[in-house]
Amino acid sequence: MHYVAIAAQPLDVQALYEKLKAPEFGGIVTFVGTVRQWTDEIETQSLEYTAYTEMALKEMTKLAVAIEAKGANVVIVHRVGQLELTDEAVFVGVAAAHRGEAFKWCEYLIDTVKKQVPIWKKEFDTDKIRWGGLNDV
Amino acid sequence: MHYVAIAAQPLDVQALYEKLKAPEFGGIVTFVGTVRQWTDEIETQSLEYTAYTEMALKEMTKLAVAIEAKGANVVIVHRVGQLELTDEAVFVGVAAAHRGEAFKWCEYLIDTVKKQVPIWKKEFDTDKIRWGGLNDV
Amino acid sequence: MMFNVKLFAILAEQIGHSEVQLTLTAPITAAAVKTALRAQYPQTASVLADCLVAINQTFVSEEQFAPSEVTEIALIPPVSGG
Amino acid sequence: MMFNVKLFAILAEQIGHSEVQLTLTAPITAAAVKTALRAQYPQTASVLADCLVAINQTFVSEEQFAPSEVTEIALIPPVSGG
């Protein structure tokens, strides 16, 4: 059974992982995106994520339901609020019968979350503030 | 810095995940293999893993070091002993700067662990006992 | 007819509000929403070019809506979650 | 010359020991290890066909070793971790 959430509090990776476990699914792949310090020459100090929460949840639910229909458990949780270096921004987990599917579906889900779920990153870098998704204007 | 182990006790997924985190690596992919109940028509009740421990650690270390040289943190831990349904048999984690690499390297590592690390599965199924890796004789 | 339009991220920052009222005439389209915002807040023009429109929490491109079908309008700047 | 050879998994079970002593003559090769075990324990023949040999904890196939180079020999049935 899928679990999707927009979380204002730090992600509990262990608890989210536990939601994926099931006797019929032997392969569990998780992706966690954390706040990275360096992007080429740019040094990030912190991030702020905001979301169009109701629509984000709808989009995440659509994605999760479509993958679960193939035979899987899916968890997708995204943080909002102020994040520091190494804080967890997003958790995507897939439990499936076989590992090849779990890898493929987990990567598809995070790729798709990044493309079409209405969540925005405001990056506080050492040189200036940047909005994710926009060309560096 | 890599961490590899053969563990006689249940895997602490949270603690292993924490070892991967680093400010320079924003993408963390983990694979956990758990004991699955059904394989086609065969129902598994429990498993016993044994290892040629010293050599297994050497092989796991070689694999981890080779991936870390590309820019990553790697954790590989395999259980030995008696495992019940949904117990964790293996944890493979890769933290890298970007998620594409983390997915690719994590899948490569578990594929390779399954092929060349001297660990054996004895499967206690409802109909009989099977050794993994052998044709069902 | 007046509609509340939700704004997010850089768009909300440029205007200083997370919601604005825009006058739209039937049929409601994504292009009409963007045109109306641009007219009222010219400083959003360059970001607006890359924005999507969600009506009733679903991305829309060329669809036309009767005003009575529209319960929620939002302008979605390029997303950057993950 | 006598060598201790480590056995694992189904091979250990078939023989009832996790280590056996085998007589090997120089040079030591993977094939010679398998041949010696098969001669002493014919019941292992079918599993042995799929086994690898590790010398000093490294898989070997066609290499030849002087007895003095060999500190540990193991027979590795098809692995099945993960």
Question: Between these two residues, B135 and D33, which has the higher pLDDT value?
Answer: D33
- For the domain that residue D32 is a member of, what is the CATH number? 3.10.20.30
Over residues A71-85, the pLDDT tens digits come to 999 999 999 999 999
Residue B79 has pLDDT above 80, yes or no: yes
Residue A136 has pLDDT above 70, yes or no: no
- The answer to whether A112 and A101 have CB atoms below 8 angstroms apart is no
Strands C64-65 and C28-29 come out as antiparallel
Q: What is the distance between the alpha carbons of residues A28 and A16, in angstroms, rounded to a whole number?
A: 12
Q: What is the distance between the alpha carbons of residues B100 and B94, in angstroms, rounded to a whole number?
A: 11
Q: D72 in a domain, yes or no?
A: yes
Number of domains chain C contains: 1
Q: Distance from A40 to chain B by nearest Cα, in Å? A: 11
Instruction: Return the C-alpha torsion angle C22, C25, C30, C31, nearest 10.
Output: -90
Return the pLDDT at B137: 47
Chain B interface, mutation test: which of D10, D61, D79, most B Cβ atoms within 10 Å?
D79
Q: Report chain C's C-alpha Rg in angstroms.
A: 12
Mean pLDDT for C45-51 is: 96
Return the pLDDT at B136: 58
> Whole-number mean pLDDT of chain C?
97
Q: What is the distance between the alpha carbons of residues A115 and B104, in angstroms, rounded to a whole number?
A: 20
| Integer CA distances (angstroms), D43 to B129, C46, D12, D49, in order | 19, 78, 12, 12
Contact between B86 and A13 using a beta-carbon 8 Å cutoff: no
Instruction: Return the C-alpha torsion angle B102, B106, B112, B114, nearest 10.
Output: 180
Q: What is the distance between the alpha carbons of residues C7 and C20, in angstroms, rounded to a whole number?
A: 8
Residue ranges making up the domain that contains C36: 2-76
Would an 8 Å CB–CB cutoff place D61 in contact with chain B?
no
Q: C29 in a domain, yes or no?
A: yes
| Domain residue ranges of chain A, discontinuous segments joined by + | 3-131
Task: Tell me which residue of C38, C40, C50 sits closest to C77, measured CA to CA.
Answer: C50
Contact between B31 and A27 using a beta-carbon 8 Å cutoff: yes
Chain A interface, mutation test: which of B87, B99, B108, B110, most A Cβ atoms within 10 Å?
B99
The lowest-confidence range among A36-45, B126-135, D3-12 is: B126-135
Chain A interface, mutation test: which of B30, B84, B114, B121, most A Cβ atoms within 10 Å?
B30
Instruction: Return the C-alpha torsion angle D64, D68, D69, D70, nearest 10.
Output: 80
User: Minimal Cα distance from C11: which residue of A?
Assistant: A131
> For the structural domain made of A3-131, what CATH number should be given?
3.90.1170.40
What is the pTM (predicted TM-score) of this model? 0.97
Q: What percent of chain A has pLDDT over 90?
A: 96
Q: Distance from B129 to chain A by nearest Cα, in Å? A: 19
Outline where DSSP puts E strands in chain D.
2-6, 19-23, 52-55, 58-60, 73-76
Contact between A34 and B13 using a beta-carbon 8 Å cutoff: no
